[in-house]
Amino acid sequence: MRLEQALAVVHHALENASGPISVFVADGHGELMAAATMEGAAPDTRLNARRKAYTAARSDARSTRALAEKVRDKPTELASFDRAFSFFTGGVAAFEGGRRVGAVGVSGLSGSEDEALALAALVRAGLSPDPS
């Protein structure tokens, strides 16, 4: 992911959020590329957005929702994951040319709204939530 794309993801998420959010864009290793927190967003949204992006970037799942569904009834597998992973909805991997190039995490709204905002922001930045 290029910096311009990461910034476009952040701007789109902020401009289209229905309430105060934090958004975190990570590279393919889960490290910070761009982030922002809106006035009025709860302090924990920063950490949640970062962990969602980190998880979507580093796991083999396309989203934190997919990863949570994968381990829902598998406590042993769940316990084996990186302790920094998040299983809250709102983290989405970013693909370009079939390759995972990063991820976005959004926090502050309902999980479904966080995820929808992350998906729309990726597409707006010319990225895909799908490797194909």
How does pLDDT run across 67-91, given as a tens digit for each residue? 999 888 887 777 767 788 888 999 9
pLDDT digits (tens, 9 = 90+) for 30-57: 999 999 999 999 999 999 999 999 999 9
- The pLDDT of residue 81 is 75
> Across 64-109, where does the E strand assignment appear?
91-96, 99-107
- The pLDDT of residue 116 is 98
Share of the chain above pLDDT 70, in %: 99
Share of the chain above pLDDT 90, in %: 83
For residues 4-19, average pLDDT: 98
Determine the 3-state secondary structure of 12 from DSSP: helix
- The pLDDT of residue 99 is 95
For residues 101-124, average pLDDT: 97
**Cα angle 102-13-106, degrees, rounded to a multiple of 5:** 60
pLDDT band at 94; cut points 50, 70, 90: very high
Distance CA 87, CA 38 (A): 23
Residue 27, beta-bridge partner list: 102
